[in-house]
Amino acid sequence: MSLEIDPDQVRAAGTRLVDVGEGLATALEGLDARLKGFGEPWGGDMLGTLVAASFPVVSRYLLECCAAMADEYQSSGEDLMALADDMTAVEEELVGRFRALAGELG
């Protein structure tokens, strides 16, 4: 069994993950601004009072969770790009060693 990994594809996947994370972060900023732009339209009746107590907490928690997910996408993408760089460096070093060995044997 063999395993072949293309560092360029790993790097491209990392770049796409970073882009997804950045896009999600931008969308969340827009959502947060829109939610704040609504103000507090729930009214003063019993239902409005319940919504007023829960909506800010729930929406803040949702935004924090989604922001953490965006950060993870970005971090994972950066890790993949670093992995691709490391794989390329190792491959170049091994090729150099084998060429040197072939020259010594040769």
pTM as predicted: 0.81
**pLDDT above 90: residue 96:** yes
Q: In whole angstroms, what is the distance from residue 27 CA to residue 38 CA?
A: 17
Q: In whole angstroms, what is the distance from residue 74 CA to residue 103 CA?
A: 44
Q: Which of 6, 4, 1, 3 is nearest to 83 (CA)?
A: 6
Q: What is the pLDDT of residue 99?
A: 95
Architecture of domain 7-105: Orthogonal Bundle (1.10)
- Average pLDDT, whole number, for the chain? 95
Helices (H), the chain: 7-37, 46-105
So where are the chain's domains?
7-105
pLDDT in tens, 16-37: 999 999 999 999 999 999 999 9
Q: What is the pLDDT of residue 55?
A: 94
